[in-house]
Amino acid sequence: MDYKIANFYLSLKTSGNTDVIDITTQVLTKVTESGITEGQILLFVPGSTASITTIEYESGVVQDLKEAVERLAPEGIFYRHDARWGDGNGYAHVRAALLGPSLTVPLMDGHLVLGTWQQIVLVDFDNRPRERKILVHISGIQPSKDKQIGSRSN
């Protein structure tokens, strides 16, 4: 077995305004491309108005999340950021800070360790469409080319 680190970027166009996008399939594709079967995946979205988290990706829960973050950091109130910069997205910065820019997911036997109804999502809180790049940093063990999975060693 060889230790390996693989880095990839996912590029996504978002609509902003608490856009929630399921990225689980894209992450799994990058894991497969990496050849790493045991380890961990670190996902990170650069920027201060988007977050990475997990959720059951179905319309009811997605809407519940949107409404919950609106209650925590409402769009229509005074934010000092807006007074200073005038861009009207102070609420987006606060929302992103609450959820955070990164997520670590264990990788076992080539599979993401997620619950049955758990998906990885990008949440873009900004007040305009954006193109987001998400770093997918995969580290762990890759089977040696001279050893086949399931073979016995003497």
Q: What tens digit of pLDDT does each residue of 123-149 get?
A: 999 999 999 999 999 999 998 776 544
Q: What pLDDT is attached to residue 36?
A: 97
Q: What pLDDT is attached to residue 154?
A: 32
Domains of the chain: 2-142 (2.60.120.460)
Q: What pLDDT is attached to residue 143?
A: 84
Q: What pLDDT is attached to residue 139?
A: 98
Q: What is the pLDDT of residues 49-100, one digit of tens each?
A: 999 999 999 999 999 999 999 999 999 999 999 999 999 999 999 999 999 9
pTM for this structure? 0.91
Q: What is the 3-state secondary structure (H, E, C) of the chain?
A: CEEEEEEEEEEEEECCCCEEEECHHHHHHHHHHHCCCEEEEEEECCCCCEEEEEECCCHHHHHHHHHHHHHHCCCCCCCHHHHHHCCCCHHHHHHHHHHCCEEEEEEECCEECCCCCCEEEEEECCCCCEEEEEEEEEEEEECCCCCCCCCCCC
